[in-house]
Chain A
Amino acid sequence: MRLGLSVETEVFEIVIRAILVSGTATLLSSLWALPAGVFLGLKRFRARSIAKGFFVTMLGMPTVSLGLILYLLFSRAGPLGFLHLLYTPQAMIIGQAVLITPIIVSFVMNTIESVDPEIRDLAKTLGASETQVSLAVLKESMNGVFLAIIASFNRAIAELGVALMLGGNIRGITRVLTTSIALETTRGELVLGLVLTIILLSIVFALNTIVNLFQRRRRF
């Protein structure tokens, strides 16, 4: 798409797009991954260890492989081709949401498991219902949940494979920070690639700082 802007505005636009895409992906993923993590952390059932093992294995999924699988799914010749989602920011959002799901699930599951079992027992002794017990445990694990969300956002904004395969790195449409870094590096614009890397790290750092402040306020 025609931009007609200077390099600075183009970089600014890329930064905003990267934050929007990865931020939306994190929110979207939280919709299903948070409840799944809480469920796996609290409930005891037979297939639980299989589910646990599945999510931990999926943590090791290379982003290019996930990108390839989703590309085949969204390609016009693929089963979801009729949606015309390939090479859109929406496809990148979906791809990154899938990518970070195992991170949120495993982090949340772990943090809930590690809540002192005495809290559950205490709540039960005090006559709390099943839902109230769950809420009490969730409250105790809020820090872990925050960490899960922030870690998954960091992963989403820093990944390349999904963004490249599903977004296509189209100028003005799906170009984000990581795909620009890859492109500028192959173009031999090493300094620009480095500058973009610093921008990416600054975003991640700023966000982590904000969340830390937020968490500290929670504790009063």
Chain B
Amino acid sequence: MLVHIDDVFDGDNELREMESKRIGVWVAAIVLTALIAVSGTAYYFGVGPFSRNRAKLVVATTTSLYDTTLLDAIEDQFEDNYPIDIYFISAGTGIAITYAQRGDADMILVHAPLKERSFLEDGYGVCRKIVAYNFFTIVGPAGDPAGLIGLTPSHALAKIVEEGRKGAVAWVSRGDDSGTHTKEKSLWDAAGFEWIELREEDWFLESGTGMGKTLQITDEKSAYTLADMGTYLKYYTDQLISLAVVVDVGKELLNVYSAIAVNRTYNPEVSFDAALSFTKFLVSEEGQQIIDQFGQDVYPQKLFYPAVQLLKERTNAALASWIEEFAYFDGEECPDKYQDNCKELYN
């Protein structure tokens, strides 16, 4: 005797009807999802009814700029006036440079002159322009147990090593190849120590993470660290940390932000014109004003200072020469051979 399989497993007709209804629902759901997916893709790529006439500019940038929301403010004003959409990728200076070298960014906005120099020299970047500056600061527990207040940065670091070896204080290092970390290493260097050797010592902690997290770790451990002013003020004002500024004077602490476009000879697909437009906007009166006024309503002091007028008119000669000494390459903001088609930036 042969029983048909359907008779055993499906039961009566009623059941089968519900079954087909359910299949109908499934088909409708799948069709709907496909529709959304297709129109979403079309919208994203700007094809069909969604065509847009806007260029795309990928800017790899440092977290210390992005996390303060300064770049959001700049982006909004820029995109209102130019047919360009900016895609900010927020990362440390080290990885931002790697993104540009791999062809994944059209422009970088970073703060590590040493790395910028080799970026230009290796043929990856052109049209470097200094856009802003501020100062790094050594922060620590409110009572300043190591007694650093009033010392120069180099003396302060030497004191930290001395106190640290006694087991009295600790230091938290970023250790992530960021611009701030690059600065920290050069400060240790200037104070006569090697970061590579110090990191082996017990009192020397390495967070391996961004500035905000590092500040929180430092606060938790009642330790000292090097911070950029923007992130520190943001965290301090929001009462996320109780660390105080102990050393913030000295040209060693200068922090200079530059914009560099990716070289089109290196990567022909790069959005070079868009990168130039954005650089021009950053150094324009309008762009510099956004930087100057950013955060004034919220923070007790400025987070960033515009650099263009200072360098051009030398309104503060001492400060201008500090920047030149620290962030210029062979006496120039961007040596001639790296000024691919953007000479007008340097008049």
Contacts and interface: CB of A to CB of B under 8 A. Distances in A.
Interface of A: 1-2, 4, 20, 23-24, 27, 75-78, 81, 86-90, 123, 126-128, 132, 136, 139, 168-171, 173, 183, 185-188, 190, 218
Which 4 A-B pairs have CB atoms at the shortest separation, nearest pair first? A76-B103, A2-B79, A77-B102, A128-B5
Given A76-B103, A171-B72, A186-B63, A87 B240 contact: no
B269 interface: yes
Contacts of B44: 88-90, 173
Contact of A77 (B80, B87, B89, B103): B103
Contacts of B238: 188
Contacts of B79: 1-2
Contacts of A76: 102-104, 267, 269
Contacts of B4: 127
B153 interface: no
Contact of A173 (B69, B87, B102, B103): B87
B36 A20 contact: yes
A187 B80 contact: no
B40 interface: yes
A5 to B, nearest CB: 11
B213 interface: yes
A27 B40 CA distance: 15
Contact of B8 (A23, A77, A126, A173): A126
Nearest to A24: B37
Nearest to B54: A1
B286 to A, nearest CB: 16
Contacts of B211: 186
Interface of B: 2-5, 8-9, 22, 30, 33, 36-37, 40-41, 44, 58, 63, 67-69, 72, 75-76, 79-80, 85-90, 101-104, 210-213, 234-235, 238, 240, 267, 269
A188 B41 contact: no
A185 B211 CA distance: 11
A23 B240 contact: no
B33 A27 contact: yes
B114 to A, nearest CB: 24
Nearest to B240: A188
Nearest to B86: A1
Contacts of B212: 185-188
A170 B235 contact: no
A177 to B, nearest CB: 17
A24 B8 contact: no
Nearest to B9: A136
Given A90-B44, A188-B240, A170 B87 contact: yes
Contact of A187 (B67, B85, B88, B267): B67
Contacts of A20: 36-37, 40
A4 B72 CA distance: 10
A127 B7 CA distance: 12
Task: Give the residue among A88, A126, A173, A187 with the most B Cβ atoms within 10 A.
Answer: A187
Given A75-B104, A136-B5, A168 B69 contact: no
A187 B234 contact: yes
A132 B6 CA distance: 9
A218 B44 CA distance: 38
B88 A170 contact: yes
Given A127-B5, A171-B75, 19 more contacts: A1-B79, A2-B75, A2-B79, A2-B85, A27-B33, A75-B103, A76-B269, A123-B8, A126-B3, A127-B4, A132-B5, A169-B90, A170-B87, A171-B88, A173-B44, A186-B212, A187-B68, A187-B212, A188-B238
